[in-house]
Structure 1
Amino acid sequence: MSPRQAVTLNALALYAISAVLLVAFYWQLTYDELPCPLCLLQRVAFVALAVGPILTIRHGPSPHHLGLVVIAAVLGAVISSRQVLLHILPGDPGYGSTLLGLHFYSWAFVAFAGALIAAGVMLVFFPLKAGEGKPPATGLIEHAAVWLVMGLVALNAFSVLLECGFSACPANPVQYQLLGG
Protein backbone atom coordinates (compact mmCIF):
# COMPACT_ATOMS: atom_id res chain seq x y z
CA MET A 1 0.00 0.00 0.00
CA SER A 2 1.36 3.38 -0.93
CA PRO A 3 1.58 6.21 1.60
CA ARG A 4 -1.03 8.11 -0.41
CA GLN A 5 -3.50 5.20 -0.15
CA ALA A 6 -2.83 4.92 3.58
CA VAL A 7 -3.60 8.62 4.05
CA THR A 8 -6.81 8.27 2.04
CA LEU A 9 -7.92 5.28 4.13
CA ASN A 10 -7.19 7.20 7.30
CA ALA A 11 -9.28 10.13 6.06
CA LEU A 12 -12.14 7.68 5.45
CA ALA A 13 -11.64 6.35 8.99
CA LEU A 14 -11.96 9.91 10.31
CA TYR A 15 -15.22 10.34 8.41
CA ALA A 16 -16.50 7.09 9.96
CA ILE A 17 -15.53 8.27 13.44
CA SER A 18 -17.20 11.61 12.70
CA ALA A 19 -20.37 9.81 11.63
CA VAL A 20 -20.46 7.94 14.95
CA LEU A 21 -19.98 11.15 16.93
CA LEU A 22 -22.54 12.99 14.78
CA VAL A 23 -25.21 10.32 15.27
CA ALA A 24 -24.63 10.28 19.02
CA PHE A 25 -24.73 14.07 19.20
CA TYR A 26 -27.82 14.25 16.96
CA TRP A 27 -29.60 11.69 19.15
CA GLN A 28 -28.65 13.62 22.26
CA LEU A 29 -30.07 16.89 20.93
CA THR A 30 -33.07 15.58 19.00
CA TYR A 31 -34.37 13.02 21.48
CA ASP A 32 -33.15 14.81 24.61
CA GLU A 33 -31.19 11.75 25.74
CA LEU A 34 -28.22 12.94 27.71
CA PRO A 35 -25.25 10.57 27.67
CA CYS A 36 -24.37 8.77 30.89
CA PRO A 37 -20.79 8.81 32.23
CA LEU A 38 -19.94 5.52 30.46
CA CYS A 39 -21.40 6.93 27.24
CA LEU A 40 -19.19 9.99 27.62
CA LEU A 41 -16.14 7.76 28.13
CA GLN A 42 -17.02 5.90 24.94
CA ARG A 43 -17.09 9.22 23.09
CA VAL A 44 -13.67 10.01 24.52
CA ALA A 45 -12.45 6.64 23.22
CA PHE A 46 -13.80 7.49 19.75
CA VAL A 47 -11.92 10.78 19.90
CA ALA A 48 -8.77 8.88 20.95
CA LEU A 49 -9.41 6.53 18.02
CA ALA A 50 -9.11 9.55 15.72
CA VAL A 51 -5.61 10.44 16.92
CA GLY A 52 -3.87 7.74 14.86
CA PRO A 53 -5.51 8.71 11.56
CA ILE A 54 -4.89 12.40 12.22
CA LEU A 55 -1.20 11.69 12.81
CA THR A 56 -1.07 9.61 9.64
CA ILE A 57 -2.60 12.43 7.61
CA ARG A 58 -0.22 14.96 9.14
CA HIS A 59 3.02 12.96 9.24
CA GLY A 60 2.49 10.02 6.88
CA PRO A 61 1.82 6.35 7.66
CA SER A 62 3.54 4.68 10.59
CA PRO A 63 2.93 1.52 12.60
CA HIS A 64 3.06 3.73 15.70
CA HIS A 65 -0.12 5.47 14.55
CA LEU A 66 -1.84 2.11 14.15
CA GLY A 67 -0.63 1.21 17.64
CA LEU A 68 -2.48 4.25 18.98
CA VAL A 69 -5.60 3.07 17.16
CA VAL A 70 -5.26 -0.36 18.78
CA ILE A 71 -4.89 1.14 22.26
CA ALA A 72 -7.90 3.45 21.80
CA ALA A 73 -10.02 0.64 20.33
CA VAL A 74 -9.20 -1.73 23.20
CA LEU A 75 -10.02 1.02 25.71
CA GLY A 76 -13.32 1.75 23.96
CA ALA A 77 -14.20 -1.94 23.70
CA VAL A 78 -13.59 -2.39 27.43
CA ILE A 79 -15.75 0.61 28.32
CA SER A 80 -18.59 -0.35 25.99
CA SER A 81 -18.51 -4.01 27.04
CA ARG A 82 -18.73 -2.85 30.67
CA GLN A 83 -21.94 -1.04 29.83
CA VAL A 84 -23.28 -4.04 27.89
CA LEU A 85 -22.60 -6.24 30.92
CA LEU A 86 -24.42 -3.78 33.20
CA HIS A 87 -27.60 -4.30 31.16
CA ILE A 88 -27.31 -7.97 30.18
CA LEU A 89 -29.85 -9.42 32.60
CA PRO A 90 -33.21 -10.49 31.16
CA GLY A 91 -35.83 -7.80 31.60
CA ASP A 92 -33.29 -4.97 31.87
CA PRO A 93 -34.39 -2.28 29.40
CA GLY A 94 -30.86 -0.93 28.98
CA TYR A 95 -29.85 2.71 28.97
CA GLY A 96 -31.35 5.00 26.38
CA SER A 97 -33.17 4.13 23.22
CA THR A 98 -32.04 1.79 20.46
CA LEU A 99 -30.88 2.24 16.90
CA LEU A 100 -31.72 -0.66 14.58
CA GLY A 101 -32.46 -2.83 17.61
CA LEU A 102 -29.21 -2.25 19.50
CA HIS A 103 -28.32 0.28 22.17
CA PHE A 104 -25.61 2.77 21.33
CA TYR A 105 -23.12 1.09 23.67
CA SER A 106 -23.62 -2.18 21.78
CA TRP A 107 -22.98 -0.38 18.50
CA ALA A 108 -19.92 1.22 20.08
CA PHE A 109 -18.54 -2.22 20.96
CA VAL A 110 -19.07 -3.35 17.35
CA ALA A 111 -17.32 -0.21 16.07
CA PHE A 112 -14.34 -0.63 18.41
CA ALA A 113 -14.04 -4.31 17.46
CA GLY A 114 -14.13 -3.27 13.80
CA ALA A 115 -11.38 -0.72 14.40
CA LEU A 116 -9.25 -3.39 16.07
CA ILE A 117 -9.73 -5.74 13.13
CA ALA A 118 -8.98 -2.98 10.61
CA ALA A 119 -5.79 -1.98 12.44
CA GLY A 120 -4.74 -5.63 12.67
CA VAL A 121 -5.31 -6.18 8.95
CA MET A 122 -3.31 -3.06 8.15
CA LEU A 123 -0.42 -4.17 10.36
CA VAL A 124 -0.35 -7.74 9.04
CA PHE A 125 -1.09 -7.37 5.33
CA PHE A 126 0.20 -3.86 4.62
CA PRO A 127 3.29 -3.47 6.79
CA LEU A 128 4.48 0.09 7.24
CA LYS A 129 7.86 1.38 8.22
CA ALA A 130 8.13 4.43 10.43
CA GLY A 131 9.78 7.45 8.87
CA GLU A 132 9.71 6.37 5.21
CA GLY A 133 10.37 9.89 4.00
CA LYS A 134 8.13 12.91 3.90
CA PRO A 135 4.36 12.50 4.20
CA PRO A 136 2.32 12.55 1.00
CA ALA A 137 0.56 15.72 -0.02
CA THR A 138 -2.92 16.04 1.42
CA GLY A 139 -5.93 17.64 -0.14
CA LEU A 140 -9.27 19.07 0.83
CA ILE A 141 -10.80 15.68 1.68
CA GLU A 142 -8.11 14.91 4.25
CA HIS A 143 -8.09 18.39 5.77
CA ALA A 144 -11.90 18.45 5.97
CA ALA A 145 -11.87 15.09 7.79
CA VAL A 146 -9.44 16.41 10.40
CA TRP A 147 -11.36 19.66 10.91
CA LEU A 148 -14.68 17.82 11.11
CA VAL A 149 -13.38 15.61 13.92
CA MET A 150 -11.88 18.59 15.71
CA GLY A 151 -15.16 20.51 15.45
CA LEU A 152 -17.12 17.57 16.81
CA VAL A 153 -14.66 17.24 19.69
CA ALA A 154 -15.20 20.91 20.55
CA LEU A 155 -19.01 20.57 20.37
CA ASN A 156 -18.95 17.44 22.53
CA ALA A 157 -16.67 19.10 25.08
CA PHE A 158 -19.03 22.08 25.29
CA SER A 159 -21.99 19.73 25.64
CA VAL A 160 -20.28 17.84 28.49
CA LEU A 161 -19.58 21.13 30.23
CA LEU A 162 -23.27 22.05 29.97
CA GLU A 163 -24.35 18.59 31.11
CA CYS A 164 -21.98 18.10 34.03
CA GLY A 165 -20.93 21.59 34.96
CA PHE A 166 -17.73 21.70 36.98
CA SER A 167 -18.43 18.58 39.03
CA ALA A 168 -18.84 14.86 38.46
CA CYS A 169 -21.42 13.92 35.87
CA PRO A 170 -24.65 12.47 37.27
CA ALA A 171 -25.08 8.69 36.87
CA ASN A 172 -28.47 9.15 35.18
CA PRO A 173 -28.50 12.65 33.71
CA VAL A 174 -31.88 14.24 33.04
CA GLN A 175 -30.93 17.88 32.52
CA TYR A 176 -28.02 20.11 31.63
CA GLN A 177 -26.57 21.19 34.96
CA LEU A 178 -25.40 24.60 33.74
CA LEU A 179 -28.70 25.36 32.01
CA GLY A 180 -31.28 24.28 34.55
CA GLY A 181 -29.74 22.55 37.51
Structure 2
Amino acid sequence: MIILLNLDWSNLFELKTKIKKDIAIFLENNLSIFSSSKQTLDKTKRQNLINKFEKKSINGELPLSALVPEYKKKYMHVDGKTVGRLNIEKIKKVANEDGFYMIETNITNIDSKEANEIYKGQWKVEEGFRTLKSAIEVRPMYVYKDEHIQSHVFLCFLSLIVLKYCIYKLKKFYKDNGEIQKKSQWICL
Protein backbone atom coordinates (compact mmCIF):
# COMPACT_ATOMS: atom_id res chain seq x y z
CA MET A 1 0.00 0.00 0.00
CA ILE A 2 1.28 3.47 -0.86
CA ILE A 3 0.52 6.29 1.58
CA LEU A 4 0.18 9.81 0.21
CA LEU A 5 -0.29 12.91 2.32
CA ASN A 6 -1.86 16.21 1.22
CA LEU A 7 -2.58 15.12 -2.33
CA ASP A 8 -4.66 17.30 -4.64
CA TRP A 9 -7.92 15.48 -5.42
CA SER A 10 -7.84 16.60 -9.06
CA ASN A 11 -4.75 14.45 -9.67
CA LEU A 12 -6.12 11.46 -7.80
CA PHE A 13 -7.82 9.78 -10.76
CA GLU A 14 -4.72 10.24 -12.95
CA LEU A 15 -2.59 8.73 -10.22
CA LYS A 16 -4.91 5.74 -9.94
CA THR A 17 -4.42 4.85 -13.59
CA LYS A 18 -0.64 5.11 -13.35
CA ILE A 19 -0.22 3.13 -10.12
CA LYS A 20 -1.75 -0.33 -9.97
CA LYS A 21 -1.13 -0.72 -6.23
CA ASP A 22 -3.37 0.19 -3.33
CA ILE A 23 -3.23 3.86 -2.31
CA ALA A 24 -4.09 5.45 1.03
CA ILE A 25 -4.49 9.21 1.40
CA PHE A 26 -4.94 10.97 4.74
CA LEU A 27 -7.01 14.15 4.77
CA GLU A 28 -7.54 15.33 8.35
CA ASN A 29 -9.74 12.59 9.88
CA ASN A 30 -10.66 11.04 6.53
CA LEU A 31 -8.72 8.23 4.95
CA SER A 32 -9.29 7.69 1.25
CA ILE A 33 -8.17 4.29 0.02
CA PHE A 34 -7.79 2.85 -3.46
CA SER A 35 -7.87 -0.91 -3.72
CA SER A 36 -7.25 -2.72 -6.99
CA SER A 37 -9.36 -5.68 -5.85
CA LYS A 38 -12.27 -3.35 -5.01
CA GLN A 39 -11.79 -1.71 -8.41
CA THR A 40 -12.28 -5.08 -10.10
CA LEU A 41 -15.32 -5.82 -7.92
CA ASP A 42 -16.91 -2.41 -8.65
CA LYS A 43 -16.32 -2.82 -12.38
CA THR A 44 -17.87 -6.30 -12.38
CA LYS A 45 -20.93 -5.17 -10.40
CA ARG A 46 -21.50 -2.22 -12.71
CA GLN A 47 -21.15 -4.37 -15.82
CA ASN A 48 -23.63 -6.90 -14.40
CA LEU A 49 -26.19 -4.14 -13.79
CA ILE A 50 -25.67 -2.77 -17.30
CA ASN A 51 -26.07 -6.27 -18.76
CA LYS A 52 -29.33 -6.75 -16.81
CA PHE A 53 -30.59 -3.43 -18.12
CA GLU A 54 -29.70 -4.32 -21.71
CA LYS A 55 -31.52 -7.65 -21.44
CA LYS A 56 -34.69 -5.98 -20.11
CA SER A 57 -34.63 -2.90 -22.32
CA ILE A 58 -36.36 -2.38 -25.64
CA ASN A 59 -34.46 -0.07 -28.02
CA GLY A 60 -32.31 1.10 -25.10
CA GLU A 61 -35.33 2.21 -23.04
CA LEU A 62 -36.99 0.64 -20.05
CA PRO A 63 -40.32 1.59 -18.41
CA LEU A 64 -39.86 3.12 -14.97
CA SER A 65 -42.05 0.43 -13.44
CA ALA A 66 -39.46 -2.18 -14.51
CA LEU A 67 -36.48 -0.23 -13.19
CA VAL A 68 -34.65 -1.49 -10.18
CA PRO A 69 -33.64 1.32 -7.76
CA GLU A 70 -29.96 0.54 -8.45
CA TYR A 71 -30.44 1.59 -12.07
CA LYS A 72 -32.23 4.82 -11.20
CA LYS A 73 -29.62 6.02 -8.76
CA LYS A 74 -26.38 5.48 -10.62
CA TYR A 75 -26.70 4.81 -14.29
CA MET A 76 -30.03 6.11 -15.55
CA HIS A 77 -31.37 9.19 -17.21
CA VAL A 78 -35.14 9.36 -16.74
CA ASP A 79 -37.15 10.93 -19.57
CA GLY A 80 -40.27 12.44 -18.07
CA LYS A 81 -42.11 9.95 -15.93
CA THR A 82 -42.38 6.97 -18.24
CA VAL A 83 -39.03 5.58 -19.44
CA GLY A 84 -35.38 5.52 -18.50
CA ARG A 85 -32.22 4.92 -20.51
CA LEU A 86 -28.56 4.46 -19.69
CA ASN A 87 -26.64 7.67 -19.01
CA ILE A 88 -23.16 7.17 -20.46
CA GLU A 89 -21.70 10.25 -18.68
CA LYS A 90 -22.84 8.91 -15.29
CA ILE A 91 -21.36 5.52 -16.10
CA LYS A 92 -18.00 7.08 -17.00
CA LYS A 93 -18.02 9.21 -13.84
CA VAL A 94 -18.77 6.21 -11.64
CA ALA A 95 -16.09 4.19 -13.48
CA ASN A 96 -13.50 6.82 -12.46
CA GLU A 97 -14.41 6.20 -8.81
CA ASP A 98 -13.95 2.42 -9.01
CA GLY A 99 -11.79 1.04 -6.24
CA PHE A 100 -12.02 4.05 -3.92
CA TYR A 101 -13.56 4.01 -0.48
CA MET A 102 -13.29 6.40 2.44
CA ILE A 103 -12.85 5.78 6.14
CA GLU A 104 -13.64 8.57 8.56
CA THR A 105 -12.16 8.29 12.03
CA ASN A 106 -12.07 10.36 15.19
CA ILE A 107 -8.74 8.79 16.21
CA THR A 108 -6.01 11.29 15.39
CA ASN A 109 -2.89 9.24 16.17
CA ILE A 110 -3.54 6.28 13.87
CA ASP A 111 -1.72 5.36 10.68
CA SER A 112 -3.52 4.36 7.49
CA LYS A 113 -2.67 0.65 7.66
CA GLU A 114 -4.03 0.35 11.18
CA ALA A 115 -7.21 2.27 10.29
CA ASN A 116 -7.76 0.05 7.25
CA GLU A 117 -7.26 -3.14 9.31
CA ILE A 118 -9.80 -1.93 11.87
CA TYR A 119 -12.25 -1.18 9.06
CA LYS A 120 -11.73 -4.62 7.53
CA GLY A 121 -12.64 -6.18 10.89
CA GLN A 122 -15.89 -4.23 11.11
CA TRP A 123 -17.91 -7.16 9.77
CA LYS A 124 -17.03 -9.17 12.89
CA VAL A 125 -18.55 -6.51 15.13
CA GLU A 126 -21.65 -6.28 12.94
CA GLU A 127 -22.02 -10.07 12.98
CA GLY A 128 -21.81 -9.99 16.77
CA PHE A 129 -24.64 -7.47 16.98
CA ARG A 130 -26.74 -9.53 14.55
CA THR A 131 -26.18 -12.57 16.78
CA LEU A 132 -27.13 -10.53 19.84
CA LYS A 133 -30.37 -9.43 18.20
CA SER A 134 -31.35 -12.74 16.62
CA ALA A 135 -29.92 -15.85 18.30
CA ILE A 136 -29.50 -14.39 21.79
CA GLU A 137 -32.61 -12.20 21.47
CA VAL A 138 -31.46 -9.04 23.23
CA ARG A 139 -34.79 -7.51 22.25
CA PRO A 140 -37.46 -7.10 23.48
CA MET A 141 -36.41 -6.08 26.97
CA TYR A 142 -39.11 -6.16 29.59
CA VAL A 143 -37.06 -4.37 32.24
CA TYR A 144 -37.36 -0.72 33.15
CA LYS A 145 -34.82 0.19 35.82
CA ASP A 146 -31.39 1.29 34.61
CA GLU A 147 -29.52 -1.34 36.59
CA HIS A 148 -31.84 -4.07 35.27
CA ILE A 149 -31.32 -2.90 31.67
CA GLN A 150 -27.54 -2.82 32.15
CA SER A 151 -27.60 -6.28 33.74
CA HIS A 152 -29.74 -7.69 30.92
CA VAL A 153 -27.45 -6.29 28.20
CA PHE A 154 -24.38 -7.48 30.13
CA LEU A 155 -25.76 -11.03 30.37
CA CYS A 156 -26.66 -11.02 26.68
CA PHE A 157 -23.18 -9.80 25.77
CA LEU A 158 -21.61 -12.39 28.06
CA SER A 159 -23.67 -15.12 26.39
CA LEU A 160 -22.48 -13.83 22.99
CA ILE A 161 -18.86 -14.16 24.14
CA VAL A 162 -19.46 -17.70 25.44
CA LEU A 163 -21.28 -18.68 22.23
CA LYS A 164 -18.53 -17.31 19.97
CA TYR A 165 -15.85 -19.00 22.10
CA CYS A 166 -17.65 -22.35 21.89
CA ILE A 167 -17.97 -22.01 18.10
CA TYR A 168 -14.28 -21.14 17.87
CA LYS A 169 -13.27 -24.16 19.98
CA LEU A 170 -15.54 -26.53 18.03
CA LYS A 171 -14.16 -25.34 14.69
CA LYS A 172 -10.61 -25.76 15.98
CA PHE A 173 -11.39 -29.23 17.37
CA TYR A 174 -12.95 -30.44 14.12
CA LYS A 175 -10.15 -28.93 12.06
CA ASP A 176 -7.43 -30.51 14.24
CA ASN A 177 -9.09 -33.94 14.44
CA GLY A 178 -10.39 -34.15 10.89
CA GLU A 179 -13.84 -35.15 12.14
CA ILE A 180 -15.61 -33.16 9.45
CA GLN A 181 -13.68 -34.92 6.69
CA LYS A 182 -14.36 -38.37 8.21
CA LYS A 183 -18.09 -37.70 8.58
CA SER A 184 -18.42 -36.20 5.12
CA GLN A 185 -16.70 -39.28 3.58
CA TRP A 186 -19.06 -41.58 5.51
CA ILE A 187 -22.13 -39.66 4.33
CA CYS A 188 -20.98 -39.75 0.69
CA LEU A 189 -20.61 -43.57 0.78
Structure number with greater CO (CA < 8 Å, separation at least 6) is 1
TM-score above 0.5: no
TM-score normalised per structure 2: 0.28
Greater share of helix:
1
Instruction: Give the number of the structure whose alpha-carbon radius of gyration is greater.
Output: 2
